[in-house]
């Protein structure tokens, strides 16, 4: 097995995935970039050291494609995968009654089903790599259900639950399972309308609700810390920390705070 550590990142073509790729590459890790956006992957790869990355077109909803992508990356990495970063995600919002079935299905399939597939496909490689870690991107929306983001919140609650379950289930094989729970990040995901019935971007809704944005570099550092730390959940940013506190000690207050951020 190669001595060079390796991380496989879904959603590596932009946003959190790109920032995490840069953070781990600074430590001389081999970075496997996976995305459906090939142009975005090439842009990320251009920001990394020569010979420091591989690219894998991957639709996380396709279970067989997972096996192919991870096998290709393991061949490049000498058989090891130290970190599997389940990061690919989509964001749609608005009243549940107004959402299209296609939007609901996309949220569930990418944000949750894709994470389950990634965990299952990566486990054999993680089990062969001492001290490995499965890292999932959850969200502050997985701490308390957010009005007008019901399906999105539900997928992130699911990621949170799976993280906790697998951290126990896989501990005997020396595999850590962790998640990131950031607040809102000013990435391309938020630039789009919340759903097909509105021209208002999710970013505009976050600004109107007076919620804070987190620099993507902070999330990348949190990913590094989560992989090397002992906490199952890593809260990132003021919004996530406030929601975590209020959901435990003042649920009425957090309900009013999150009543309608997508109006």
Residue 166 has pLDDT above 80, yes or no: yes
Task: Supply the pLDDT for residue 261.
Answer: 44
Residue 158 has pLDDT above 90, yes or no: yes
Residue 197 has pLDDT above 90, yes or no: no
Long-range Cβ pairs for the range 226-230 (8 Å, 24+)? 226/133, 226/135, 226/178, 226/179, 226/180, 227/83, 227/133, 227/135, 227/176, 227/178, 229/178
Residue 263 has pLDDT above 50, yes or no: no
Measured distance CA(33)–CA(38) in Å, rounded: 10
Matching residue, tokens 């730390």: 229
Per-residue pLDDT band at 208 (split at 50, 70, 90) = low
**Cα distances (Å, whole numbers) of residue 6 to 1, 95, 118:** 11, 41, 16
Task: Supply the pLDDT for residue 76.
Answer: 97
Q: What is the mean pLDDT of the chain?
A: 89
How many alpha carbons lie under 13 Å from residue 193 in its C-beta half-sphere? 8
CATH tag, 6-257: 3.40.50.720
CB 14 within 8 A of CB 85: no
Task: Supply the pLDDT for residue 147.
Answer: 82
CB 85 within 8 A of CB 20: yes
Residue 117 annotated among the catalytic residues of the structure: no
pLDDT digits (tens, 9 = 90+) for 60-95: 999 999 999 999 999 999 999 999 999 999 988 888
One of 117, 125, 144, 152 is an active-site residue; which one? Answer: 152
Q: Where are the domains of the chain?
A: 6-257
Residue 262 has pLDDT above 50, yes or no: no
pLDDT digits (tens, 9 = 90+) for 8-58: 999 999 999 999 999 999 999 999 999 999 999 999 999 999 999 999 999
Query: Which residues are within 8 A (CB) of 131 and not within 5 positions of it... i.e. 6 or more apart?
Result: 82, 174, 176
- From 29-38, 117-126, 138-147, 226-235, the region with the lowest mean pLDDT: 138-147
Mind spelling out the 3-state secondary structure of the chain? CCCCCEEEEECCCCHHHHHHHHHHHCCCCEEEEEECCHHHHHHHHHCCCCCCEEEEECCCCCHHHHHHHHHHHHHHHCCCCCEEEECCCCCCCCCHHHCCHHHHHHHHHHHHHHHHHHHHHHHHHHHHCCCEEEEEECCHHHCCCCCCCHHHHHHHHHHHHHHHHHHHHCHHHCEEEEEEEECEECCHHHHCECCCCCCCEHHHHHHHCCCCEECHHHHHHHHHHHHHCCCCEEEECHHHHHHHHHHHHCHHHHHHHCCCCCC
Radius of gyration for the alpha carbons in the chain, expressed in angstroms and rounded: 18
Task: Supply the pLDDT for residue 148.
Answer: 84
Query: Which residues are within 8 A (CB) of 221 and not within 5 positions of it... i.e. 6 or more apart?
Result: 23
pTM, full prediction:
0.89
pLDDT digits (tens, 9 = 90+) for 98-125: 999 999 999 999 999 999 999 999 999 9
Task: Supply the pLDDT for residue 186.
Answer: 67
């Amino acid at each position: 097995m190669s001595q060079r550590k390796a991380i496989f990142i879904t959603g590596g073509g932009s946003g959190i995935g790109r920032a995490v790729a840069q953070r781990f590459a600074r430590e001389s890790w081999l970075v496997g970039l996976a995305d459906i956006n090939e142009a975005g992957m090439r842009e990320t790869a251009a920001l990394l050291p020569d010979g420091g990355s591989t690219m894998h077109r991957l639709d996380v909803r396709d279970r067989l494609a997972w096996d192919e992508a991870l096998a290709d990356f393991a061949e490049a990495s000498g058989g090891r995968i130290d970190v599997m970063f389940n990061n690919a995600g989509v964001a749609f919002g608005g009243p549940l009654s107004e959402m299209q079935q296609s939007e609901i299905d996309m949220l569930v399939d990418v944000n949750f089903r894709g994470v389950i597939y990634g965990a299952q496909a990566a486990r054999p490689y993680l089990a062969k790599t001492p001290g490995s870690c499965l890292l999932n991107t959850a969200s502050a929306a997985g701490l308390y259900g957010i009005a007008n983001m019901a399906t999105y919140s539900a997928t992130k609650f699911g990621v949170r639950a799976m993280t906790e379950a697998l951290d126990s289930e896989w501990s005997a094989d020396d595999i850590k399972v962790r998640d990131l729970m950031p607040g809102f990040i000013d990435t391309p995901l938020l630039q789009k309308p919340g759903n097909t019935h509105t021209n208002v971007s999710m970013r505009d809704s976050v600004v109107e609700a007076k919620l804070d944005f987190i620099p993507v570099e902070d999330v990348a550092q949190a990913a590094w810390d989560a992989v090397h730390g002992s906490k199952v959940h890593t809260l990132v940013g003021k919004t996530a920390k406030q929601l975590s506190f209020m959901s435990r000690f003042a649920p009425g207050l957090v309900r009013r705070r999150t009543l309608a951020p997508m109006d």
